[in-house]
Amino acid sequence: MNNFEFINPTKIIFGKDTIGKLENEIPKDAKVLLLYGGGSIKKNGIYDQVKTALSNVEVIEFGGIPANPEYAKLLEALHIIKEENITYLLAVGGGSVIDGTKFLSAAAYYDGDTPWDILTQNIRTEKGMPFGTVLTLPATGSEMNSGSVITRVETKEKLAMGGPGLFPQFSILDPQVISSIPQRQLANGLTDAFTHVLEQYMTYPIGALLQDRFAESILQTLIEVAPKVLKDPTDYKAASNFMWCCTMALNGLIQKGVPTDWAVHAMGHELTALFGIDHARTLAIIAPSHYKYNFETKKEKLAQYAERVWGITEGNINDKAYAAIDKTEAFFHDLGIDTKLSDYTKDYEGTAEEISKRFNERQWMGLGEHQTLTPDRVEKIVKMAY
Amino acid sequence: MNNFEFINPTKIIFGKDTIGKLENEIPKDAKVLLLYGGGSIKKNGIYDQVKTALSNVEVIEFGGIPANPEYAKLLEALHIIKEENITYLLAVGGGSVIDGTKFLSAAAYYDGDTPWDILTQNIRTEKGMPFGTVLTLPATGSEMNSGSVITRVETKEKLAMGGPGLFPQFSILDPQVISSIPQRQLANGLTDAFTHVLEQYMTYPIGALLQDRFAESILQTLIEVAPKVLKDPTDYKAASNFMWCCTMALNGLIQKGVPTDWAVHAMGHELTALFGIDHARTLAIIAPSHYKYNFETKKEKLAQYAERVWGITEGNINDKAYAAIDKTEAFFHDLGIDTKLSDYTKDYEGTAEEISKRFNERQWMGLGEHQTLTPDRVEKIVKMAY
């Protein structure tokens, strides 16, 4: 097991009818900017619950944060934060709204030339404007971590940021929100959480026995609840387990003491930036090819995953490892998620070269747990995913 | 799944040669009371590492905190805290030293008549004196939770306390400390952590699928590493997994959203108070009888545990559940832990009646996950454990 440090100060408030607890979490003298997305919260009743809970606090609203939170749009919110002397941010949404809020939390206290520097210069935020979240879409885990991914449409860039100052102070997780989420988003959430676990698990054995089992526990539970969530999003047992899995998949716990990969995300982000493909779907496109390309270095963990998560006991280590990749791809298909780039766009020729070129330009010379995934290898993996 | 709230702000610093990191965690202007136990840290080198790391801070020492931290001894430390205007506490030890330090953290800021009230009146500490820990004995999980158990020899009492103000600010976990721990203490630690998980798991199904699997993960890992830790405490892979299991067994995570029992601890504490039997061993005495006595209400989880943790696939639910109790008892025996009260004392007659009487006096009328364990039932369970 590698040495590690772990701290996660976010307070989780989980369960039925918990949105009203907002009232106790935000300082009475706060001036709140309420951030949300496309407005679905106004249809499903969440907006009303939030507004009721905030009735004794001064609130300004900012809606319209898109999926893949867009830099230009967030600058509008930053302008309001400064003009209105906002002191507290409240994200009501999924990963995009929460990630956008984290950017604003950092940017509100940033005194450099332009807040874009935070992304391009990897500036870690030690202290951000305090914020909380009401999660409306389980998927990214952003509600209990300190990371964020921001998109800039004009340059087709999608970049990550973070820092210890960017943990939500609290996050409210009411699994009943799942009942009004469209199937497409549910499938995305399941895929996203599943791949988050794989990125922290599918590397090589390092003797972190408990972390391995925790990771496998999340995968097993997602596999168990996925068909139930899709069939009946009002199934509270399935919904609550789905929601808690998404949070635990990326709150830092399972990555402690182990090598992590994240190359699937690095490549996937480019597909979103280039084609606007849903984040989760880009992961499903890249993951199978990535595991096949890096088979030799990952096969021990692939075989362990085959045995423990998929119950595959037949064959040698190679057989099990290959079968596990097939099972993973089939799982995505069962969710209604296509796993080839050509399923999403006819304009895929040259994509691998373009992504390779971008990685070269950013000097991303060695991705993956062994830092051996050079841009030319990335090109091959993306081609395999056509 | 039940509704829950979860927050755990303790910073964990885990790994080889991490004790020196103390230096960065304690404020430079702090006046520190360094608390430890019987002095083993002076033989195994931990004391020297701690003192080196603290060389730029003002430190007063207080050693001699016994196993089952004793109220009278802790009052001596409290006197020093007040006389010397101590501002920060550092526990270097196992669960007893850390629990004692938590009592002092609470008592230092308590302004009632006598700090014993904190224990007898169930006063929750919202804010205690800040403290950190260097863990020298994995077992109790106290290094990453906000609970504590204090003993008062003069009244033969052992009582619990806690509150959100009693999380350590940081805990340093260097698995290398395990190499100098005596076999008896290692066996105790393994038993303690194992039973902590059982107390939060062996109840009834409530649809908390991930929490169940996490609990099973800890149990499986403890079973896997236990013989290795006992055979060779310098085996870093085994030691590091043992240590992380102990912390994860009782840092609050696996109990969220599920019913918990804790009756084994309630009864076990009385055996320590009455006979001075090691805490962990009292749990091993009580647990098998407790599970047999409450078989009907626990058999679903017992059978799940049988299947997933012990790989028992034969027989019906009752067969599996009974086999799991036998496996648990055999596991304790393999650790060198006896599981009958008569193995520890010849003076056991009347113990069950005495414990039942104490529970009656304290009006503990319904222990266990169903709050149905009345003092007369406790009497029967303790008798079964003779």
Q: Which domains does chain A have, with CATH numbers?
A: 11-176 (3.40.50.1970), 182-384 (1.20.1090.10)
* pLDDT level of residue B39 (50, 70, 90 thresholds): confident
A59 touches chain B (CB under 8 A): no
- What type of residue is B283? L
> For B238-254, what is each residue's pLDDT tens digit?
999 999 999 999 999 99
The three-state DSSP-derived secondary structure of chain B is CCCEEEEEEEEEEECCCCHHHHHHHCCCCCEEEEEECCCHHHHCCHHHHHHHHCCCCEEEEECCCCCCCEHHHHHHHHHHHHHCCCCEEEEEECHHHHHHHHHHHHHHCCCCCCCHHHHHCCCCCCCCCCEEEEECCCCCCHHHCCEEEEEEHHHCEEEEEECHHHCCCEEEECHHHHHHCCHHHHHHHHHHHHHHHHHHHCCCCCCCHHHHHHHHHHHHHHHHHHHHHHHCCCCHHHHHHHHHHHHHHCCCCCCCCCCCCCHHHHHHHHHHHHHCCCHHHHHHHHHHHHHHHCHHHHHHHHHHHHHHHHCCCCCCHHHHHHHHHHHHHHHHHHCCCCCCHHHCCCCCCCHHHHHHHHHHHCCCCCECCCCCECHHHHHHHHHHCC
Predicted confidence at residue B42, as pLDDT, reads 93
Q: CB–CB of A7 and B2 under 8 A? A: no
Report the complex ipTM. Answer: 0.97
Q: Is the pLDDT of residue B156 over 90?
A: no
Mean pLDDT per 10-residue section of chain A, whose length is 386 residues: 98 98 96 95 94 96 93 97 98 97 98 93 96 97 96 86 97 97 96 98 98 98 98 98 98 98 95 93 98 98 98 97 98 98 97 95 89 95 98
A227 touches chain B (CB under 8 A): no
Q: Is the pLDDT of residue B235 over 90?
A: yes
Q: CB–CB of A257 and B244 under 8 A? A: yes
B245 touches chain A (CB under 8 A): yes
Give bridge partners of residue B169 from the DSSP assignment. none
CA distance B256 to chain A (A): 9
Q: Which residues of B touch A225 (CB under 8 A)?
A: 209
Q: How far, in Å, CA of A21 to CA of A26, rounded?
A: 10
Q: CB–CB of B1 and A15 under 8 A? A: yes
Q: CB–CB of B14 and A5 under 8 A? A: yes
Comparing alpha-carbon positions, the chain B residue that sits nearest to A246 is B210
Q: Tell me the pairing of strands A88-93 and A131-135.
A: parallel
CA distance B240 to chain A (A): 7
Q: Which of A11, A16, A221 sits opposite B210 (nearest CB)?
A: A221
A231 touches chain B (CB under 8 A): no
A228 touches chain B (CB under 8 A): no
Predicted confidence at residue B362, as pLDDT, reads 83
> For B81-129, what is each residue's pLDDT tens digit?
999 999 999 999 999 999 999 999 999 999 998 999 999 999 999 999 9
- The residues in B 15-34 lying below 8 A from A, measured between CB atoms, are 15-16, 18
Comparing alpha-carbon positions, the chain B residue that sits nearest to A8 is B9
CA distance A236 to chain B (A): 9
B110 touches chain A (CB under 8 A): no
Q: CB–CB of A6 and B12 under 8 A? A: yes
Size of interface A-B (CB pairs under 8 A): 106
Predicted confidence at residue B318, as pLDDT, reads 98
A223 touches chain B (CB under 8 A): no
Q: CB–CB of B7 and A12 under 8 A? A: yes
